[in-house]
Structure 1
Amino acid sequence: MDIKQLQTFMVVARLLNFRAAAEELNYSQSTVSDHIRNLEQELGVKLFERLGRKVFLNEEGKKLISPAEKIIQDDEEIHELFNKGEKIHGTLRIGAAETLCVFWLPPLLKEYSKIYPQVRIILKMADCLEFPELLEKNFVDVAFSLHDESKRKYLSQIDIFDDSTVFVSAPDCPLAALKKISMHELEDQAFILTESESGYSMELKNLLKKLNIKVDTIMELGSIEAIKQCVKKGLGITLLPRMVVKKEIENGELVALPVEIDGINIHAKLIYHVDKWMSAPMEALKNIVLLKNN
């Protein structure tokens, strides 16, 4: 059985899209189709159902996930045994929360790529609540998250850094002229928050509910950059990690509001499955993160 066919199968099973799989694997779409067709012929079963342009993993395909994953991992481990003196190479699949993906991770990945240029990095931005499943199903190797996973015994997590959050508004917002703002003075304010069901946005929503503070409207957007642009235009106020708005506050595009509140902080973490084989690229990333923490 060709290991490349199994690798292609795993990517298609994850993305459920032949074109996207071809782009990730750097193959032509016809090569991806050939790999799946040859694998299906060898096994004597269909692994995917194709309904129009949509692709679905069928029951036979689901049965192949676990053994294919093991075979691929065994293959990687065998190659690793005989490549101790070689430069680290391979593929590293990273999941990351948007806050970290956009405002913290790029310098780390730049440093990593400079040291390990032969490692191919695949970056997936997702909600923190998705990472446990993505790691459990081996869709990503590691994840940079803002959610505490210490209660999930099958996940290991390394604390990276903490950051505070800050309420911000446009400079011409009436609240921007105040020297002190109580939480109850936020009554009837228009809020613009992230769509995430975890982290600092959810903490704020829960706090507003607990204090029985009714806000005028809560606009939820999927992009932090979109939120900042809406706040700059005076459409509402928001709560964001300080590192995300530091530049805009310094240049006067946004104003930090002095809201009296017990800190809603973010806690960045590196998480991975405890049973995940620690490949050389994954070990190298972990070491860089640990080194920066010391």
Structure 2
Amino acid sequence: MFIKNLEVFLTVARLLNFGETARTLNYSQSTVSEQIRVLEEYLGVRLFERIGRRIFLTDQGNMLVPFAERMVRDAEELKNLFSDTGTVTGSITIGSAETLCVFWLPPMLKKYRLLYPQVKINIKVGNCIDFPQWLQQNIIDVAFGLNDESARQQLRQIDLFCDETVFIVAPDHGLAAKPLLAIGGLARQTLLLPEGYCGYPMDLKNLLEEEKVQANTIMEFGSLESIKQCVRNGLGVSLLPKIAVAGELERGELIALSWHGPAIPIEARMIFHRDKWMSPPLAALEKLITASIPE
């Protein structure tokens, strides 16, 4: 039961909201409060403090986080040690860039669910720059991102694929009639890009800065579908993975521009924390994903 208290504590520490913790864990808010009260009484310290309507970790609460993460992880490993080795059960929490979550990850998860139907899968869509911290804090078990994290010694990275991106506009956009698009052609254009500081959108921003090309404005979106809708309505130019707009290009709803400039690929990686215990569900996911990597 003490592990349950630690699991509740870690969720509150991550969300800093008792109500949201209750909804996440499917508990009542009074149960969450009681779990924290019992833990504080056992340790003889105050783990959270309330200022106005917000709660914060105390110094003692911050000290407890890494110990609690390790104890919860060890408890999960102990439980799986005596579980039925013929059946993969448990849960995994996956962090994914929105781009990959839209067009690449769903088919992989479909295969995974068919093979391991008893595993509960949680998806947390986020910004690639947050994934190292999420892995460090054990918020997620694995990340599918666009950033190269190979320089981080605490992380283990598997390169998944490198694919083509394409500049797209509406059929009636002024650039649609141009045979070639060079970097200078993006001057004073409205660019519609996925939000965040990672992968191909950041590569394009860096290229614009290096070439001293000033866009009219850069609008950032949290959804690829929102970007495609805005481009279809003539609001600007976008750079997206070709596979993500293949249907619209085939139907003539969007026009792909012939890019005359440095390649701006989309590069996907699977990222783990080196200290993360590879539970059976997580090991099974890595095996499935690596088997799909083209040679």
- Cα deviation, residue 286, structure 1: 0.6
Question: Match of 2:260, SS?
Answer: coil
What are the superposed Cα offsets for residues 115-136 of structure 1, whole Å, 9 maximum, x if unpaired? Answer: 2222222211111111111111
| Structure-2 separation of matches of 1:11 and 1:118 | 23
Q: Which moved more, 1:185-194 or 1:275-284?
A: 185-194
What are the superposed Cα offsets for residues 19-74 of structure 1, whole Å, 9 maximum, x if unpaired? Answer: 22223223233222221121112112221122343221111111111111121121
Question: Match of 1:188, SS?
Answer: coil
Q: Share of identical aligned residues, percent? A: 51
Instruction: Give the direction of change, closer, same or farther, for the CA distance of 1:242–1:59 in structure 2 (3 Å limit).
Output: same
The corresponding residue for 2:133 is: 133
| Structure-2 separation of matches of 1:213 and 1:67 | 50
- Cα deviation, residue 86, structure 1: 4.9
The two structures have a TM-score, normalised by structure 2, of: 0.94
| Structure-2 separation of matches of 1:154 and 1:31 | 36
Instruction: Give the direction of change, closer, same or farther, for the CA distance of 1:139–1:190 in structure 2 (3 Å limit).
Output: same
What are the superposed Cα offsets for residues 240-275 of structure 1, whole Å, 9 maximum, x if unpaired? Answer: 111221221112221101121221001111001111
Structure 1 runs of 4+ aligned residues shifted over 6 Å read none
Size of the alignment, in residue pairs? 294
Q: Which moved more, 1:8-17 or 1:175-184?
A: 175-184
The two structures have a TM-score, normalised by structure 1, of: 0.94
- Cα deviation, residue 84, structure 1: 4.3
Alignment of 1:1-294 (within 5 A): 2-293=2-293
Letter in 2 for 1:177: A
Q: Provide the aligned C-alpha RMSD in A.
A: 1.6
| Structure-1 separation of matches of 2:109 and 2:256 | 30
- Cα deviation, residue 279, structure 1: 1.0
Stretches of structure 1 that go unaligned for 5 or more consecutive residues are none
Question: Match of 1:60, SS?
Answer: helix
Stretches of structure 2 that go unaligned for 5 or more consecutive residues are none
| Structure-1 separation of matches of 2:238 and 2:258 | 13
Letter in 2 for 1:290: T
Letter in 2 for 1:196: G
| Structure-1 separation of matches of 2:109 and 2:19 | 26
What are the superposed Cα offsets for residues 132-190 of structure 1, whole Å, 9 maximum, x if unpaired? Answer: 11111211111000110111111101111111110000110121122223222232222
